[in-house]
Amino acid sequence: MSPINLLDADQIERAIADFGRSAHDGLIVAASGLATKHRNLIVGLAARHKLPAVYNQRAFVAAGGLISYGPDLVDQYRRAAGYGDRILKGEKPADLPVQAPTKYKLMINLKAARAIGLQGAADAARPRRRGDRVRRREFISLLGTAAAWPLAARAQQKPPTIGFLGASTQANWTQWTGAFVQRLRELGWTEGRTVAIEYRWAEGRSERFAEIANEFVRLKVEVIVTTGSAADIARKVTSTVPIVFAMSTEPVGIGMVAGLARPGGNVTGLSIQSSELAGKRIEILREVLPGLHRLAIIGNAGSSGSALELGEAEAAARKLGLDVQAMDIRRVQDIAAAFGALKDGMQALYVCPDPLVNANHARINTLALGARLPTMHPFRDFLGTGGFMSYGANTADMFRRAGDYVDKILRGAKPAELPVEQPTKFDLVINLIAAQALRLEVSPTLLARADEVIE
């Protein structure tokens, strides 16, 4: 059984068309205002795709649907009149118990049955002789059982589970997680009702990635959501559970996917093209610091994506004639030591994205301010703790778009067939509070180009 939550007529049309093309043998339409509003559309699509459909209201059968099974609505309204009578005579609603239906009606449209190819069943349902009436009762019994599926399904259906592997800390990912959950809600997936989400936080420790991925495999989650380096490790744990990365520095370059258009395997998601932006970020730094000659670059060389960007940034800086000092960090303890080992005269700090950096960006910004080093970050989210500038994709938007991937996968799409998407817009954000602390002057021209200025 494949439950689907729908929000509008377009989604209804796509979903029923998908069911018609797949191996599904029937359709159960649950009671909802949306279904009632689009009754004729649903009935027409079920007939077009020859899907036997069970509805909850007789009106669907009257519109050409196959079967309905549900409370007698006329009887329900008669009983509602009884409530009205008692209230008008002085009783309080709080004292009147809610009543369950006492009568259910099964309706069968034999014309609809013949139209979708159930000719034998339709003939069986038409009484001719005594023996035929037996066959008719058997047919109705069979359809009555099918009509009761919605009730059983609601009692037994387990919502799909998403394994959410937070590579950093919960606090650092609050905005990103919120954007992802909000997008799921817009697509009809409500956490705790129609979908379950298991959250796990690696706290920036890469050794936790495989451990969490293995746990998700044991939990039999339908899909894993995470970011670049964690996704790269998770795919080595499982080749069957779909994996969606909300961000990855260079998924093709690190071998996580075969290509952007055709990822192959069980992994897909969004590339942030961070390494490709290395030269642009350094050029922006030079606009603020025309005399920039010595640049420090910090990153985790043990992380595939971060190592790739470390190399790209160093190559871009040397091409511009800059002296470079790479600051390789593998653990939290390495951060302070890396700053302590900085050569004299370093003028700015380029920060490469990575879960370790993400979890400790506040520490990095504090040490950089102490060393009077303007920082260039990949994400705007890193500026709230004293970072100077960022240039890159909107991360909250990336997590929203990851929600679209998850929606498609939960509805039956294969990761191998979902192209890796790239950002369509890059934001330049400047933190003037940090600039003042560093006693830097930012030109009005650059401020005018900025997408956001923090003051």
Asked if the domains 161-273+398-417 and 275-393+426-454 are classified in one and the same CATH topology, the answer is yes
Pure H helices in 3-129: 9-21, 33-37, 39-48, 58-62, 73-88, 110-115, 119-125
**So what's the pLDDT on residue 154?**
41
Which residue from 265, 251, 212 is spatially nearest to 418, judged by alpha carbons?
265
Give the CATH number of domain 9-156: 3.40.50
Q: Helices (H) and strands (E) in the chain — how many of each?
A: 20, 16
- With b meaning 16 or more CB within 10 Å and e meaning fewer, what string describes 298-332? bbbbebbbbbbbbbbbbebbeeeebebbbbebeee
Three-state DSSP state, 279: helix
What CATH fold (topology level) applies to the domain 275-393+426-454?
A: Rossmann fold (3.40.50)
Q: Is the pTM of this model over 0.85?
A: no
Cβ atoms < 10 Å from Cβ of 127: 13
Question: Distance (Å, rounded) from C-alpha 251 to C-alpha 309?
Answer: 12
**So what's the pLDDT on residue 5?**
65
**So what's the pLDDT on residue 50?**
81
> Was domain 161-273+398-417 assigned CATH 3.90.1150.10?
no
**So what's the pLDDT on residue 81?**
83
Cβ atoms < 10 Å from Cβ of 9: 13
Predicted confidence pLDDT, tens digits, the chain (455 residues): 556 666 777 778 777 777 767 656 678 888 777 788 888 888 888 888 788 888 888 888 888 888 888 887 777 777 888 888 888 888 888 877 787 776 678 888 888 887 777 754 444 445 544 444 334 444 444 444 444 444 444 444 689 999 999 999 998 899 999 999 999 999 999 999 999 999 999 998 999 999 999 999 999 999 999 998 899 999 999 999 999 999 998 888 888 999 999 999 999 999 987 667 899 999 999 999 999 999 999 999 888 788 888 999 999 999 999 999 999 999 999 999 999 999 999 999 999 988 899 889 999 999 999 999 999 999 998 898 899 999 999 999 999 999 999 999 999 999 999 999 998 889 999 999 999 999 999 999 999 999 999 99
- Cβ atoms of residues 181 and 195 within 8 Å: no
Which residue from 425, 207, 404, 198 is spatially nearest to 302, judged by alpha carbons?
207
Instruction: Retrieve residue 188's tokens.
Output: 């009809």
Domain chopping of the chain, boundaries: 9-156, 161-273+398-417, 275-393+426-454
Long-range Cβ contacts of 328-333 (<8 Å, 24+ apart): 328/299, 328/300, 328/301, 329/298, 329/299, 329/300, 329/356, 329/357, 330/300, 330/301, 330/302, 330/356, 331/356, 332/204, 332/356, 332/359, 332/360, 332/363
Q: Are strands 196-201 and 452-454 parallel, antiparallel or unpaired?
A: unpaired
